[in-house]
Amino acid sequence: MVKKTVSLVLSSGGARGMAHIGAIEALEEAGFEIVSIAGCSSGALVGGIYATGQLNTFKNWICNLDKIDVFSLMDFTISRKGFIKGEKVFNALKHIVADCEIETLKIPFACNAVQIPSGEEKIFSSGSLFDAIRASSSIPTVLTPSKIGEDEFIDGGIINPIPFNLIKPTERGNLLVVVDLNGPKSAFVPPSAKEKKESNLKLPFWLADYQKKFSNYFYSEQKEEKPKGLSSVELLNFSFDLIQDKLSEMVIRQYDIDLLVEISREQAGTLEFHRAAELIEIGKKKMQKAIKKLESGHKRTQ
């Protein structure tokens, strides 16, 4: 019997990246062995932590955060480059999962970022794991750029949201498995009645004020309201989303993918990490469904 080994590619997508956790759990429960990982942004976060062997520890932590907890981890700053410094949340992460050198991981891992101002793709396959994740997940206008030495980096999703090129031929598994977090509306999974009730948690008035200011990122349900017009920042992020979607579509068509799972972009907002448990379950169920189709002879399912 051929061993079921997997090269896993995890896309960018903010809080939707928690679906990556469920997808990984489904693969392991089905007997697949993940032998290499490439990730971008939130895909870098989940993929990197999985490679340390501490994904369950991270899952237990993230699933116990509510809206207020998530908000408390955001160190707001007045900057033209982003409104969150990111130091607070990454310091918290380092208390949950210790930093390490990427080259010491048991599973080969790589993630990408964009160096500025050159615009060149930077591939991280060695050095500090959390430096690499921070660089890869520096979402423009949200997180301030990451600085490593004299170099600055922003989110790798700008030019390569699904980094197939990071999987080395010598590290390829029998199957190429991809989780795309920027999928179409048709991939949307309606929330259950329980999830809708939990999402209506009332915030203190001072938090509600911030919620309005940053509604573009915190609460996806607010996006259903039709705005009178987009601000310059909203227009920039709208453009960024469109570019990511088109890039993802183009790249996916170019590769011979054995198993594809799509999570709708509308499934959750960029910073809705308080919905981690819901997103993990969606990722798990979608991967389980895709595995069943694959095993029945249907390749490249979603």
What is the C-alpha separation between 175 and 183, in angstroms, rounded? 21
The C-alpha angle 241, 55, 272, rounded to 5 degrees, equals 35
Q: How far apart are the first and last CA of the chain?
A: 25
Cβ neighbours of residue 97 closer than 8 Å, sequence gap 6 or more: 49, 52, 54, 57, 58
Cβ pair 149, 133 in contact under 8 A: no
Contact 34, 107 (CB under 8 A): yes
Gap between the Cα atoms of 164 and 230, Å rounded? 33
Indicate which residues carry an active-site annotation: 41, 155
| Percent helix, percent strand, percent coil in the chain, to nearest 5 | 50, 20, 30
Residue 33, number of CB atoms within 10 A of its CB:
13
Judged by DSSP in three states, 159 sits in coil
Per-residue exposure over 52-91, b if at least 16 CB sit within 10 Å of its own CB, e if not: bebbeebbebbbebebeebbebbeeeeeeebbbebeebbe
Q: Take residue 63 and report the two structure tokens written for it.
A: 């699933």
User: How are beta strands 259-264 and 33-40 bridged, if at all?
Assistant: unpaired
